[in-house]
Structure 1
Amino acid sequence: MTRFTSFADLAGILANDRIARAADNEVHAATYDGAFIEHSELAKLSIMAEPEASEMPDPDMARAAVELAVGTIFDVFRGTRMEEFAQQIVWGFVNSFHMTARIAEGREDDAAKKLGELARYNDNSEIHAVEMEDTQLLCRTLQGCREALEAMRDHASQVYRVETGKPFTATRGSQVSRTSATASQIAARDFLAARNRQRNEDHAPTGPMVVVSGGQVWHDHEMLWDILDDIKARIPEMVLATTGMRKGVDAIATGWAQARKVKSIAFVPNSAHGNAAPFKRNENLVRLRPVEAIVCEGSGIQSNLAQRLRAAGVPLHVRRIADQRPAPRSSRA
């Protein structure tokens, strides 16, 4: 992958890089173009600030900057004693986009709530009309900033996945994108809350649920990807549900979902239930009425889930550790 030596090179994204990753570049370019939109000639980032003329960053420059920042960290550390730290540093870089986008989303939600309150209040005064216009501009500006941050986060997370072979998974909240073709990763808490409130598809995706769970020590990526590819060929609108582990089977399945643009939901056990939390989580997964499931050998938690799925009549793929192909010497899964 071509890297830039300075920000002066950003405007001249090299042709070899475009040829090598043409499909990804087309997706990312369309995503950036769709996110970095000028909703208005004016911008407003707080309720107290006056509207001002301010442009969005150039989408091509933003895309190249992400590629440069993420790729250079891996290149500088590759083959050195510090190589293992590159993954942690880049994870933090991607997560900073994620957390900043969440902050912008919170401010956008507050502005939208106020706009709704103003719209319900019957007032024909000029003061009320100006406040409505200002709040609408604030909401629109924050929406544009949030979408741009999400586009950069999704691009950075894709480079992270390609470089490490592991999916980027945020520690807090869902990784939802409104304009991106990148698959959404949704936290179980957001998913269940959205279902209860009958919210939109962003946090409560509809579709046949496929459950995956397994131990944290697992190296055979191809086995799981082959099974998941077969399921997706039969159930194109599937939604992936994992048991939320950041290593092993769950991480492999989440990486597959990102590569195949499949929405995924991470059902992490609720610590409020103490030692019973994983088994309570298993019960909730079965209640979702999955149409198919993959359970790989792990612990008693996986055995419990497999038993519950069988009892519910869910078609089940069970794989044991011994079923795996031999692990490559360089495997880090």
Structure 2
Amino acid sequence: MTTIKSIRTADEIAALIAEETASPAFEHAFTETIDGFRMSYADDESDAPMPLAHEAELATEMVVRTLFDLFRDTRLESLADRIAWGMVHSLHKVAGQLDGEADKAARKVRDLIRDADGSEVLTAELEEAQTFCQSLDEARDAVACMRDHAARTFAAETGRPWSAPRGSLVSSKRTASVVAAADFLAARRQQRIDRHAPKGPVVLFSGGQTWEDSDALWDRLDSIRTRIPMMVLATTAQDKGCDAIAAAWAASREVPLIAFTLAKWRRMGDRAGFARNDAMLALKPVEAVVCEGSGLQSHLARGVRAKGVPAHFFRLRDQRRAA
């Protein structure tokens, strides 16, 4: 027997619509941006639609959550987070591959713009290259959106964030299609700038790896975010202790996170960590949180004080007393 529920209030109607509506991120990522889609030069252009945004969002979450539900209260429960991590990583890897392929396609568009002579042959080749590049961008955004949602689901299930492993001159010869392609590349370049350079006041965070009292750190970060709602959090990106706590907070609050790993400065040897601190201070932070740890935290604390940045300092002995 089918039960039909009577919907009377505005809240009930909104809830019903929400069940069939994707989040803004999925609606944006799964919007068709071009008419002819192609994933390689060997493929014919396709007019097939994108997957439905709300179905993509539900399927992404279901894949991750179902695994945890299956293993919960069984002898395999401890493996759930490891397998789920791999699921998120597979989406991350494919998104990265598509990004690289799109960059390569964009270079071809640039070369064709440079060599453009107004001929029909080069104009057609340029339009084809532009379609291919934009198709890769479209696919990359969709997969990256799925990865981000899968990562949020992973964090909700495990209590910790998912993290990846450690890595035009105009001339009279230009035709209308060449100008359009140049505009396309400029727009694509700006999109990548926005993606890799979050806008907002920067708050620095750094701390040692021996830390278990997360409540005090979450409370302080919440307090800062109340005053600076558009904040961007920059951390020293250690995978345990204070930085891991801060990353979990950022994931929970959907605050943009800049992870300053040591990879860029490793060639500097023992100076790498200090050079990273200097790079973080160069962001002109509006506030900082520094927890007692090693000499790197002491160095950062001195730099913060020297620049007059409002700061919050946490000591190990305070944490131990609170634990």
Q: Shorter chain as normaliser: what TM range?
A: 0.7 to 0.9
Q: What are the superposed Cα offsets for residues 93-126 of structure 1, whole Å, 9 maximum, x if unpaired? A: 1111111111111111222222233234332222
8 Å CA contact 2:116–2:122 kept in 1: the answer is no
Q: Which residue of 2 aligns with 1:178?
A: none
8 Å CA contact 1:207–1:239 kept in 2: the answer is yes
Q: What are the superposed Cα offsets for residues 245-292 of structure 1, whole Å, 9 maximum, x if unpaired? A: 111211121222222232211111232222332222223323333221
After TM superposition, the score normalised by the length of structure 1 is 0.77
Measure, in 2, the Cα distance between the counterparts of 1:26 and 1:221: 36
1:277 aligns with 2:272: yes
Rate the CA distance shift 1:115–1:64 in 2: closer, same or farther, 3 A: same
Measure, in 1, the Cα distance between the counterparts of 2:147 and 2:74: 27
Q: Secondary structure at the match of 2:194?
A: coil
Measure, in 2, the Cα distance between the counterparts of 1:275 and 1:23: 56
Measure, in 1, the Cα distance between the counterparts of 2:127 and 2:56: 29
1:83 aligns with 2:77: yes
Q: How far is 1:304 from its partner? A: 2.5
Q: How far is 1:233 from its partner? A: 2.2
Q: Which residue of 2 aligns with 1:13?
A: none
1:305 aligns with 2:296: no
Q: Out of 87, 107, 110, which is 2:104 matched to?
A: 110
Measure, in 2, the Cα distance between the counterparts of 1:152 and 1:99: 12
Q: Which residue of 2 aligns with 1:314?
A: 309
Q: Highest Rg: 1 or 2?
A: 2
8 Å CA contact 1:63–1:152 kept in 2: the answer is yes
Q: Out of 252, 264, 273, which is 1:259 matched to?
A: 252
Pairwise mapping of residues 51-66 of structure 1 onto structure 2 (< 5 A)?
51-66=45-60
Q: Secondary structure at the match of 2:193?
A: coil
Q: Secondary structure at the match of 2:123?
A: helix
Pairwise mapping of residues 109-258 of structure 1 onto structure 2 (< 5 A)?
109-171=103-165, 173=167, 200-258=193-251
Q: Secondary structure at the match of 1:143?
A: helix
8 Å CA contact 2:277–2:300 kept in 1: the answer is yes
8 Å CA contact 2:22–2:54 kept in 1: the answer is no
Measure, in 2, the Cα distance between the counterparts of 1:202 and 1:83: 36
Q: How far is 1:172 from its partner? A: 5.1
8 Å CA contact 2:210–2:241 kept in 1: the answer is yes
8 Å CA contact 1:209–1:292 kept in 2: the answer is yes
Q: How far is 1:326 from its partner? A: 4.8
Q: How far is 1:27 from its partner? A: 8.9
Measure, in 1, the Cα distance between the counterparts of 2:23 and 2:280: 37
Structure 1, unpaired ranges of 5+: 1-17, 174-196, 328-333
Measure, in 1, the Cα distance between the counterparts of 2:16 and 2:290: 36
Give me the identity figure in percent: 45
Letter of the 2:30 counterpart: F
Q: Secondary structure at the match of 1:201?
A: helix
After TM superposition, the score normalised by the length of structure 2 is 0.79
8 Å CA contact 1:41–1:55 kept in 2: the answer is no
Q: What are the superposed Cα offsets for residues 100-159 of structure 1, whole Å, 9 maximum, x if unpaired? A: 111111111222222233234332222122212211211221111111101100110110
8 Å CA contact 2:209–2:240 kept in 1: the answer is yes
Cα RMSD over matched residues?
A: 2.8
Q: Which residue of 2 aligns with 1:294?
A: 289
